[in-house]
Amino acid sequence: MKEYTEQEQVRRQKIENIRSITNPYPEKYETNYELKDVKNLEDGTKDIRVAGRIVLMRKMGKLSFLTIRDIEGSIQLSIKVDMIGEENYKFFKENFDLGDFIGAEGELFTTHTGEKTIRVDQFQFLGKALKPLPEKFHGLTDVESCYRNRYIDLIMNEDTRQRFLLKYKFIKEIRRYLEDKNYIEVETPVLINKPSGALAKPFISHHNALDMDVYLRIAPETYLKRAVVGGFTKVFEFARCFRNEGMDTTHLQDFTMLECYVSYYNYKDNMNFIENMLKTVIENVYGSLQISIGENVIDFSKHWETVSFRELILKYIDIDINVFNTKEKLLTEIQNQKIELESEESIETIGYGKLVDLLYKKVARPYMIEPVFLVDHPIELSPLARANDENSNITDRFQLVINGAEIINGYSELVDPVEQQKRLEEQSKLNADGDDEAMVMDYDYIEAMEYGMPPISGWGMGIDRVVQVLTDSPNIRDNVLFPTMKPIHKDS
């Protein structure tokens, strides 16, 4: 049998006391103002009806003050025996605790300390917190507890509330920008037959009704391109994606990805589009294009630099990838220079493109603070991207890097089904040789391409990652409302 603390036992007894007078869990309570809006009203405004959780409370002989809050705002309530009567005041003092919900009606005034307050003339009990909140002066400070019990984190910590409000405002502003530019939001499947759309190790599940194995999507890319085949010219999706890879401060196995595709653009058009979009969104969210991120003040108003993989690596280390242009040459030179690359896979099993990418991430990316577009990716690193017309060893691809983090990945799409099949066959060989992140053959997607694709450019942005960068959060899980955690108890 579950044991309760003394405080929990007292609160459970209060539920019975309340039940003898009124329903402790009423069906509804009709409000006419949001908490965040009340402080903007004029003193003397009457018949204000609000509701919220009690987070501060001072009970006194004949007058009590309490603060109620929701995710966006708070307001102080004044409950006085002269206004509500002795019996109601006694009921309030004996049965309400921190964490409980209350509905209140009254008139707005300003206290002598300058705080906007509702003078309550009617109130209603709306719900009991059977567990006490953390001590108000310290809140919830343990990081793992904040992840496991995000609801308490939200109740107690203002910075957490503001961080998630910023995230959802950021999403709203991006959606508004895209829709204003005539992009259409669609939905694509989460359970798919082939893990395609990115270089990543997938999660595998089983579809009982169809008796077949399926994969959780690693990206919505190939299905959004099918939508383009069907006639959509501007399409996007906020997609939950899943990649069965390592967990660190900048990566999660399940995350939110925005992907966007437009017909008749090339990758340079999308670089201009994204720069204008993010400048607009950031200014709408922050009210400025100069943002403090950690120790740096980043000025987003400047024109964003473009740099090639080759130029960037040469800037930080004496390795020219045009000279060391095979996996064997490059790996030998990396070992000669005693550079230790970070990879979950054996370096010997990965392809040349992945090796270049690991080298760049090790020697250059941490120092890229201002917004930079990285271009000229090796073709082996981009199996779905269009080859460059002048140099078939690189692709028309870009990555936007801000403060040492990859924010957006985009390219001119490969729309030639014959070339796409050839590249997927090469990826399938890498996969068969042990590269779990290499793609597999997807004949259904090839068939869709064979019905004809226009010129396309597309891009993807990790929403949790970009918010992590903008808010200078130490861990990407700080920006995921309910991150996946290993259970503490076996029956959890």
- Summarised one tens digit per residue, pLDDT across range 424-433 is 888 888 877 7
Dihedral of the alpha carbons of 64, 78, 123, 91, in degrees to the nearest 10: 10
Buried b (16+ CB within 10 A) or exposed e, 81-120: bebbeeeebebbeebbbebbbbbbbbbbeeeeeeeebbbb
So what's the pLDDT on residue 110?
97
Segment 81-94, tens digit of pLDDT = 999 999 999 999 99
**For residue 32, what pLDDT band results from cuts at 50, 70 and 90?**
very high
- Burial group, residue 250, by CB count within 10 angstroms (0-12, 13-18, 19+): middle
Residue 18: how many CA atoms within 13 Å on its side-chain side? 22
* Of 189-198, 217-226, 322-331, 450-459, minimum mean pLDDT range: 189-198
Q: Comparing C-alpha atoms, which of 109, 91, 113 is closest to residue 45?
A: 109
For 280, other C-beta atoms within 10 Å of its C-beta total 16
SS3 40: coil
Segment 213-224, tens digit of pLDDT = 999 999 999 999
Where in the chain are the domains?
A: 6-133, 156-479
Q: Hey, what CATH topology would domain 6-133 get?
A: OB fold (Dihydrolipoamide Acetyltransferase, E2P) (2.40.50)
So what's the pLDDT on residue 1?
64
357-371 mean pLDDT: 92
**pLDDT at residue 401 is higher than 70:** yes
pLDDT above 70 covers what percent of the chain? Answer: 98
Residue 116: how many CA atoms within 13 Å on its side-chain side? 17
**For residue 134, what pLDDT band results from cuts at 50, 70 and 90?**
confident
Sheet strands side by side (includes 191-192): 191-192, 212-216, 203-207
So what's the pLDDT on residue 139?
62
Average predicted confidence (pLDDT) for the chain = 92
270-296 mean pLDDT: 96
In this structure, are residues 157 and 165 in contact, taking their beta carbons and an 8 Å threshold?
no
156-479: which CATH number, 3.30.930.10, 3.40.50.2000, 3.30.420.40, 3.40.50.300?
Answer: 3.30.930.10
* Of 9-13, 93-97, 196-200, minimum mean pLDDT range: 196-200
C-alpha torsion sign, points 376, 377, 379, 383 = negative
What DSSP state is assigned to residue 480? S
**pLDDT at residue 352 is higher than 90:** no
- N-term to C-term CA, the chain: 17
Q: Comparing C-alpha atoms, which of 36, 33, 290, 257 is closest to residue 161?
A: 36
So what's the pLDDT on residue 136?
60
Pairing of strands 191-192, 405-412: unpaired
What's this model's pTM, rounded to 2 decimal places?
A: 0.89
Q: Comparing C-alpha atoms, which of 169, 192, 291 is closest to residue 241?
A: 192
Phi and psi based region of residue 132 (left: phi greater than 0; alpha: psi -120 to 50; beta: remaining): beta
Distance of CA 425 to the CA centre of its chain: 34
* Of 91-105, 113-127, 172-186, 342-356, minimum mean pLDDT range: 342-356
330, containing H or E segment: helix 327-336
246-258 mean pLDDT: 91
Dihedral of the alpha carbons of 188, 190, 195, 197, in degrees to the nearest 10: 40
Segment 42-99, tens digit of pLDDT = 999 999 999 999 999 999 889 999 999 999 999 999 999 999 999 999 999 999 999 9
